[in-house]
Structure 1
Amino acid sequence: MGGVEQKWRGLSRWNSPLVQVVMIGFICFCCPAMFNVLTGLGGGGQRIPKVANNSLTALYATFAIFGLLGGEAYNLLGPRRCIFLGCSFYMLYVGSFLSYNHNEGFVVAAGALLGIGAGLLWAGQGAMLMSYPPAESKGRYISLFWVIFNLGGVLGGFIPFSLNYNDKAGSVNSGTYIAFMGIMFMGALISLTLSSPDNVIRDDGNKVSTVHYSNVFLEGCEILKLFRNKKLLLLAPAFIASNFYYTYEFNNINGMLFNVRTRGLNNVFYWGVQMLGSVVMGYILDHSSTKRRSRGLMGLGVMVALTMLGWGVALANQLRYSRQSRPELLDFKDSNLAYAGPLTLYILLGLLDSMYQTLFYWILGMLTCETATLSRFSGFYKALQSAGAAISWQIDEIKAPLLFELLITWILLMLGLALATIVVWKGEDVQEGKVEDGHENYSNKGDEECPS
């Protein structure tokens, strides 16, 4: 019992890394998770996905730019203001769907603005999530974040399911969007309570890092250096793949195979299983070996096996239909076999998503422990992730064959995992928990604040 108390004793202090990770988890519970529920309905909850596809393309195009600049904004503004601005743009985006039938251009413009806000929010989230935890608990903290974040997706999935239970129109009602906006407003309020990184203290009394707020010129130079970082360039295909698959999963499985109320219910399962996936991957990355490199390779091996399984099943499912020959929409009350098969596939892909995201946050976190650097790494990750997503949504909008969408997604995932294996394999096989000169053992020898 004492071990459990010691493990979670940081919950008693507001400025502890654990509490701050929990708080960013609840912020993402309220904002990005509700956005994910809306996107997961296919077409933004509308019967025809064209406007939603175009808005998401605009969103991820600007996200690709401001994701990269988000680390700079974080280092200049700090987490509180940076994340509050991000939450505000999430509310604007959902609100734009209330005017969908009268002003489609506003939805696209709001998507472009959300790309700015999402870049700010996720750069702050990434810096906090990767730099605040102690080295031996990074996997646990990352999985805790994803559990809280995806709990938002689970509970949010009940909103369109319950509010549209008797609706046969094929599009969600206005009350659904209003409910999402109310929850996002709570996330914006929570963001105002975050501590400055300078004030975050670990249980051993040490600060997470010494933060020196930067200037625009210096940050610009540091961003350019990211494109010369060999490890980041090797990880680039994995970053591009990390949101690429959402288009296929949301539009062409959930959106194309199920009616609107069932899509909401499916998202409860999709985001629910993500909590399990993040916990499992977090355990592998923290406990499967005493050696950090061995744990990373174990996580990658599990990810490769499950990716082959999940997308192999997706291929078998895809061969049953096409854009020109769509099946009749399924309802959750249909016969068990008709509904359970595609639902099981959708759930499996949700499991893979959280394991994949947890794994790559952990890999980035093993490169350095410096908050300012990790905010830039996180921005680089989100920039490439968003660029991939923008391409993916437009591939779907031009009505590319569904089989092509599936295969390009699968190939990109496997390429990313293969190159990530090189990065982890070449990393130092150190035994974490070892302390030298009062510092935790990290592989980044050039970092004076966190030497090996």
Structure 2
Amino acid sequence: MQRRFPRWYRTPRTQTLVLGLVFFQVFTAYTTIQFYASSNYGPELASRIVSTLYVTFTIGCLVAPTWTNQWGAPAAVTFGILGYAVLVMTSLLYFQFPQHAGVVIGGGAVLGFGASLLWTGQGRLLLAYAQNDASLLGLFWSVFQCSAVTGGLLSFLYYGRETIANNAGLYLIFLGFILMGALASHFLLIPPRELYRLPKQEESVDSMEETTSLVVNQSNYRNNEESPEDVSQHSWWYETRETLRMFSSSTMLWLGPLFFYTGFNQPYQQATFGNRMVSKRTIGLELIVFHSMEILGGFVGGKLLKSRTTALYCWALFGIMIISGNALALFVELYPSVAAVDVADGWAVLLPSLAFASWGLADAQINLYILWLLGHWYADSERSRAIGFYKCLQSLGYSLGFWCMPTSRMSALHQWILSSTISNNLYTMMKSTQSQVEDAFAGHQEEKSEKDVGVSPVRNGPVGCYLVYEPSSGGRLMNEYSKGPIPSNAVGFWCTDEPIQEFKFKVAGGRSELIKGIAGGDSNRRKYFTGWCLFLKAAKAKKAKVIQFIPESQGVPVDVYGYHQKLNQPVLLELEEALTDVSDLDAVAVMPRHHEFMRGVKSIALSNFLELGNLAGASTRL
């Protein structure tokens, strides 16, 4: 049932803030638990908990995209948070019955699976809310990182007391934070169904990807509009198969070292370096320093990723900060007289603090950069799979980093060398593949110069064919081939990598009638669906990608089902969400929105698909 919320609450910025606050509550607890794991559980048990956690996290990332797409992203976030609560509750049992260490190890395993759900759901929601608005990525990151500052301050005050009987009191506080986060996650709205996006007054579209963004950003999704849930219409097997295909994607394999590094770097920075170079009490303050710079980095990264001319500065800032932090860490490693300092030692704590500050700012830049790229390259359910792949490799990085952490396995200096070598190699990799980075910026709007402020440019769309509704001639649908402005009454569009004959753009201004007499009555309305079928057939012939514009006044929103004859499988195409490839379809059926046509049907013969499609609206072989 549709929920009622005021318009201000249904904006992408407000929902991004709500998502950030959910994570703030959960990670105020968890960040501190992880940071003090060795102290609270003992080094051996802490190592087993963390190892188990990241093993299940890594495995969970292989299936979390499927669960997220089947259940919906908000449900994945809620279930994921409950996994964190399980660790806290099993920890409370362990503090009372320390002989049962296996209980808390099991809690870590549950948390790992929960984390895979939480982060996959979060990634899909955040990228859907942001729609390539990097300032919203930065907003979430900054609010999320406030959790670590709060947790660090709480720990500093808690451990600053002279005597502590046990950790139960602190963990009860943590449990309260996590459960409040689970409750707050129920108020996350589903994009785009429950969102209201303000129309942009100045926008130029220069690529196929920008067309997708324009459709979503220019549509005012009304609060009382009926719409399907944010769940996949595909089978569980299909979702799992598509997730595993990420491991053969050249784009994802190229980004793999970045994903891995975001996990591998922190065990050395926060645990190996922190535990050796500052006192237990001071770690809490260094945690505040690190994550305060993460907060600042969120706002800085959000600004830098807004335009093509400044986005690469985000990567440059990461390089400067990571080199600075590593250099300071090496100095402290080589001069042990400045190690193991306490906040009471005054200026002696400055060098470790500067290292933590540099690392925090660098970490924000690389994580926002990755999210920004994924937001440009993937849409809808593909985002869940991309986030799952990202978190899988990040978790592998954490796992290896924590395995290396005991100095009995690898000395602190060798850990520094390994971490620094990986970060330095990232620059070489990025330089050699700079063209791929540039592709991410293709079509991204350049920052306007001061002389352009207040001027509304013409909206230019990509080269292709629009499906246009006109009320004349009893209502008609037109093909309009265009290289220029997007028609205001367009209801659909296709574009292709294949060449389009030039005469199609010149004869009659690129316009030709597809079908007329479509207004009034069920029989005429059926012609509207037939027009869509003809439009899709032309798109198939050009191996094109298709998108549907949600009509604001005239025209009829439609559902389009595609059919794969090899699988005997009908698929609801999410045309209003993103450019969708129709080149591999064998047939289509077009009908009114939310029709019961194929609901629950997993397999059907082609003849039956076409027959039922004609009863619901119109259908055709492609």
Provide closer, same or farther for how the CA distance between residues 390 and 446 of structure 1 changes in structure 2, counting only shifts above 3 A: farther
Structure 1: unaligned runs, 5 residues or longer: 1-9
Counterpart CA distance in 2 for 1:251 and 1:72 is 33
CA contact (8 A) 2:332 2:338 kept: no
Mapping 1:429-444, distance limit 5 Å: 429-432=442-445, 436=461, 437=486
- 1:256 maps to what in 2? 276
1:19 to 14, 19, 41: 14
Letter in 2 for 1:346: F
1:375 to 384, 388, 394: 384
2:342 to 304, 307, 331: 331
- 2:394 maps to what in 1? 385
TM-fit CA distance, 1:102? 3.4
Counterpart CA distance in 1 for 2:138 and 2:107 is 31
- 1:178 maps to what in 2? 172
Comparing 372-381 and 210-219, the one that deviates more? 210-219
TM-fit CA distance, 1:140? 0.2
TM-fit CA distance, 1:76? 0.6
CA deviation string 1:119-152 (max 9, x = no partner): 00000111111222233x2x10010001110111
Counterpart CA distance in 1 for 2:241 and 2:546 is 18
- 2:288 maps to what in 1? 268
Answer yes or no: is 1:102 the counterpart of 2:115: no
Counterpart CA distance in 1 for 2:112 and 2:47 is 14
Provide closer, same or farther for how the CA distance between residues 428 and 151 of structure 1 changes in structure 2, counting only shifts above 3 A: closer
Computed over aligned residues only, the root mean square deviation of the Cα atoms, in angstroms, reads 3.0
> Under a length normalisation based on structure 1, what TM-score does the superposition of the two structures give?
0.86
CA contact (8 A) 2:12 2:129 kept: yes
Using CA pairs below 8 Å that are at least 6 residues apart, which structure has the higher relative contact order?
1
TM-fit CA distance, 1:310? 1.8
CA contact (8 A) 1:164 1:172 kept: no
- 1:233 maps to what in 2? 253
- 1:5 maps to what in 2? none
Counterpart CA distance in 2 for 1:181 and 1:399 is 34
Counterpart CA distance in 1 for 2:29 and 2:128 is 26
Mapping 1:404-419, distance limit 5 Å: 404-419=414-429
Letter in 2 for 1:222: E
Letter in 2 for 1:24: L
Q: Deviating runs (4+, > 6 A) in structure 1? A: 207-210
Letter in 2 for 1:262: T
1:333 aligns to what SS in structure 2?
helix
TM-fit CA distance, 1:17? 1.9
Provide closer, same or farther for how the CA distance between residues 102 and 178 of structure 1 changes in structure 2, counting only shifts above 3 A: farther
- 1:38 maps to what in 2? 33
CA deviation string 1:230-278 (max 9, x = no partner): 1110000110110111111222222222333222222122212211011
Bigger fraction of residues in helix:
1
- 2:359 maps to what in 1? 349
Provide closer, same or farther for how the CA distance between residues 258 and 379 of structure 1 changes in structure 2, counting only shifts above 3 A: same
CA contact (8 A) 1:68 1:382 kept: no
Counterpart CA distance in 1 for 2:62 and 2:83 is 17
Letter in 2 for 1:301: A
Counterpart CA distance in 1 for 2:429 and 2:64 is 25
Counterpart CA distance in 1 for 2:368 and 2:324 is 19
CA contact (8 A) 2:149 2:287 kept: yes
Answer yes or no: is 1:56 the counterpart of 2:53: no
CA deviation string 1:314-371 (max 9, x = no partner): 22222234xxxx987432112x222222122122212211222111111211213x22
TM-fit CA distance, 1:279? 0.8
2:187 aligns to what SS in structure 1?
coil
CA contact (8 A) 1:54 1:394 kept: no
Counterpart CA distance in 1 for 2:546 and 2:392 is 24
Provide closer, same or farther for how the CA distance between residues 63 and 435 of structure 1 changes in structure 2, counting only shifts above 3 A: farther
Provide closer, same or farther for how the CA distance between residues 31 and 416 of structure 1 changes in structure 2, counting only shifts above 3 A: farther
- 2:326 maps to what in 1? 311
Answer yes or no: is 1:91 the counterpart of 2:85: yes
Provide closer, same or farther for how the CA distance between residues 14 and 435 of structure 1 changes in structure 2, counting only shifts above 3 A: farther
Provide closer, same or farther for how the CA distance between residues 225 and 318 of structure 1 changes in structure 2, counting only shifts above 3 A: same
- 2:449 maps to what in 1? none
Letter in 2 for 1:108: I
CA contact (8 A) 2:328 2:351 kept: no
TM-fit CA distance, 1:95? 3.1
Name the larger-Rg structure: 2
Letter in 2 for 1:186: M
Comparing 55-64 and 182-191, the one that deviates more? 55-64
Identity of aligned residues (%): 24
Counterpart CA distance in 1 for 2:371 and 2:34 is 23
TM-fit CA distance, 1:89? 1.0
CA contact (8 A) 2:325 2:356 kept: no
CA deviation string 1:148-184 (max 9, x = no partner): 1011111121211112212367x97322222111111
- 2:187 maps to what in 1? 193
TM-fit CA distance, 1:428? 5.3
1:31 aligns to what SS in structure 2?
helix
The aligned length equals 427
Provide closer, same or farther for how the CA distance between residues 113 and 327 of structure 1 changes in structure 2, counting only shifts above 3 A: farther
